[in-house]
Structure 1
């Protein structure tokens, strides 16, 4: 059987001039590390669920992405994290939103999925669940970085002068996600985020909403999205793509492009990665850039931040 893996680190990519060459190189290296972690699971015959968790874990631990360490600040200067994971073979899923102390929310989402009920926990209940599962619990400050502090200050100023709507995707958003097809033909998707900078406390986006920012269904596709979550929820983007494949007979590319076109009408930055039942991978986006990557059948690691795709060697 074919195996396949794709990831994204969010469509909130900075303009090239805003990071040094060394910082861009490190961000790409972390994308490659994420791909290698997920691919190692698949190559050994592991499950798509375990592969997407492994890939997302790397990005949650990286300073370069808005998930885990490096997450955005809300309006109160705190971090509230959202994450979900879905198994396309059973439609089982687990999700958490507005949690504040779980070092790796994607692992807590997987643990909740294995419990089976409930599917979604919020806030302190999610933190408490992760603690009972023996997962790493940290102080909220662990997630903070200087770059995110500057983003918050910038958005506070924009709010005061009425230019918040003009903020770049890099100032506002960011998400990480992974999709995979394993050797048994099963699909899975996972997504994790800190939301958007200066978001109202308690705000929940699409990342933990099954069918919106995360969706996987065997025989159709697995999808992880990034962008303005409120619109991903309204359009049920993940489920919409799967439905266009299942009911309208569209290819994965046609379905994903149509979904992004719907979002583009609202003039919002949006992107996604998706993998089909045959291992086809797509990564459409409409913003200046999107952190993304995939592994081709020949084992080559491909990563990109803007238009150019770079080959980072073998897995």
Structure 2
């Protein structure tokens, strides 16, 4: 039987959403609405042996049967997570889920524990997988079975020597000249090391421009992958020649890239240019009137006061 799955990858930074999303406004509860938290899990070397919990809530109006299991995970060009079979450095086979099946009534919630058990000779460094929460539907059309699912990425670092090298391949902006904001900047990243880089929270990548730090969205960059991230500088100054810089530290040192941006207020300048001919004519007339008065004979320069005094003397 042909099966079709609709999957929502809840990935911090560059997320792809494919299920019914909740709205900020109050709305009637849908028939199906399942939430899973956390939206992603980053597991360091010292945390592998611990159990990790996910919280599942049924916010819909119908009861659901949930099946949970691991699957392969990779990263697309924008840094978002994507499901792909036989993805490199997959940790899907290391995961044990308890419980792997359960039923949730409307409004009910439940915790799911995930245990990670790498093989004895697992390669040190970064590995990844996704935990898939699948709700099979009872509605079928012909030979099609529609499954609704939520995928939550897991990024796991196996103990051992780790290379955290990341190269900034470039920093670009759609235009090098602008009359005002906002302005977008895009950075291209290559993970050249053996560990994933968690660029989220306080460790987020930041754009340094005109004395400001503008944080990029949260991003996890697995080993051996490349990604781009875009940030918006919402409020540039009215005029500046600004250098925007991004830098990131790694094992061999710091990688950085810069781009120049020219901001000019063309509208005020255009208005000034349009009024320049009028100002020129006014100034020229004032100068001509001044020169005419300055070159008049002494008797006329004083006005009619001297003539009036002479007539009074003759009387």
Normalising by structure 2, what TM-score? 0.24
The answer to which structure has the higher strand fraction is: 2
Normalising by structure 1, what TM-score? 0.24
The answer to which structure has the higher helix fraction is: 1
Higher relative contact order (CA 8 A, sep 6+): 1
